[in-house]
Chains A and B, each alone.
Chain A
Amino acid sequence: MHQTRTRPLLLTLITATLLGGWFSLNSGSVPVAVWDAIQHPQTLNAQVLWELRLPRTLAAFITGALLGIAGALMQVLLRNPLADPYILGVSGGASVGALFAILAGAGTLVLQSSAFAGALLSTLLVFSLSRGRGNWDTTRLLLTGVVLAAGWGALISLLLVTSPGTRVQGMLFWLMGDLSSATMPLAGSLVLILIAPLAFFLSASLNLLAGGELKAASLGVAIGRLRLIIYILASLATATAVTQAGNVGFIGLIAPHMLRLAGARDHRLLVPGVILLGGTLLLVADALSRMVIAPRQLPVGILTALLGVPLFLYLLYRSGRTHDA
């Protein structure tokens, strides 16, 4: 039953990913004939393709995939369909780190390290504060995370209003999510290669945890360990994504729900699905962000929302008319 329904959906997603990748390689301010560039590797065309388009396309896919996984994991961990990768303040910490780096006029590498350090700091703070005296329940975790995120938000506003105008544009781009500096997808790919199989291995337990901690425990899941692993994986995925591309909104929230609406309620299908869908959504949005007002670029975060909102509302509207799942 499962396997027969699994194949068409995954095949559709793989096709969409390949088409999206092709579209992304072909789009940008300079027209590049991809076939031509592959056949003649010495040309300027080929240089644009191999050194700019391909790394950026990969970075977009990986960032989107990480956000998709993080979103699906957070929704199960908090058993809240509204949860997204940023809900527990990981991105707030990263943003504050990144804005300080921009304020100091630092280069890409320092900016990314600073953002990643901020994300880790936030993760550790939420974890140790919500643990209190050994008790680690979901409500405490959610409250601690949301309150800390609000605190980061205030710091971000403070940095924005006190920074010189020349720096603010860069800060806003970063805050809205921007892939123009994501030229080194290596670290991201390593994190994705590490996280994806782990998340898939956990997916049967995720199905049970979605129905509540006690129920999952009664069906044989070691809850304490599972919660900790989910929290670490989701935080690492989010921190990596935010470090690469800033606060790209919406993908982590809607990619898992789009798949659920398409019938992928089982996490053994949802986890691989959300990697493909999250990645594809972001690489298509990024390709469009290079085209809409070319030769200038839009922050990709604007397009993920512009694209995602109508798509998601349509799916929701369509599913609302049938009572069956």
Chain B
Amino acid sequence: MPELPPLLKCTGLDIDVGNVVVTRGLEFTIESGQCWCVLGRNGIGKTTLLHTLAGLRASRSGSIELNATPLYQLSRRKVAQKLGIVLQHHEDNFPATVAETVLQGRHPHLHSWQWESAEDHRIAMQAIARLGLSGYAARNIQTLSGGERQRVSIATLLAQETELLLLDEPTNHLDLHHRLQVLETLVSHGRQTNRAVLMVLHDINLAARFADHVLLLLGNGESRLGKKEQILETTALERLYGHPLTRIETPRGPAWLPQ
């Protein structure tokens, strides 16, 4: 059996935003079933990197391939069938229920004259249940709390059923319990169904707990990436955040506390 092309492959990727240099010559591949975590300081370009990988903005140079096809050759619809993203900001200027919002995740799989089928509804309701929102299906998203709204976005991504899931700070607005529960849901769902996850996080310990690969954005286009065990070490993390850290051993593996 011939080997499958990698889900996402970046070659020589140069990304700029304004006068910030985000990456220079970034090379990496994401395989199905992997969970990647992006760490970096505020304003270093994590969101820009995610938007570039999702094809929502152009890179300066380099190529991004989705299943060996260059991203720019694919229509938005084709991209959205394979790759979904949870954005950091929501624009909720018009009323919509939680169920309607999550059902929008099915859009890339429908033609413009098609209404959602019973199967689409089932997928959406399942995603809603996974995120613990079953009692909220008929609620207007404009009346939700920040954490509830965040979980609606993640449920929409699950309903999209893509092979690659990108998430920009998925733990925003979530309390301690929901942080762990949402990440656990995402990562176990990814592993069970052989999907890949790439998420921007601000918490080293959550990254250490859930990711298997890590990408550090160090500024001025510099980056380090690889298996979690090789990348997550105290000196690199201290340099990343410009803050001294203490490594402690826990039954779940190493953890870092700010000094």
Contact = CB atoms under 8 A, between A and B. Distances in A.
Pairing of A with B: yes
Given A220-B78, A324-B139, 14 more contacts: A76-B94, A79-B93, A204-B107, A210-B93, A210-B96, A218-B56, A219-B104, A220-B75, A221-B76, A222-B75, A260-B94, A265-B100, A325-B97, A325-B140
Interface string A179-207: 00000000000000000000001101101
A77 B89 CA distance: 18
A109 interface: no
Interface centre among A3, A80, A81, A204 (most CB of B within 10 A): A204
B57 to A, nearest CB: 9
B76 A217 contact: yes
Nearest to B89: A212
B: interface residue count bin? 35 or more
A214 B51 contact: yes
Interface in B99-155: 100-101, 104-105, 107-108, 110, 112-113, 115-116, 121, 138-140, 143
A323 interface: yes
6 contacts: A75-B94, A208-B104, A211-B96, A212-B87, A219-B104, A223-B76
B112 A202 contact: yes
B154 to A, nearest CB: 13
A268 interface: yes
A215 interface: yes
B35 interface: no
Given A80-B93, A81-B93, A266 B112 contact: no
Interface of B: 51, 54, 56, 75-81, 84-85, 87, 89-97, 100-101, 104-105, 107-108, 110, 112-113, 115-116, 121, 138-140, 143, 160
Nearest to A81: B93
Contacts of B89: 212
A219 B105 contact: yes
A266 B100 contact: yes
Contacts of B92: 211
A209 to B, nearest CB: 10
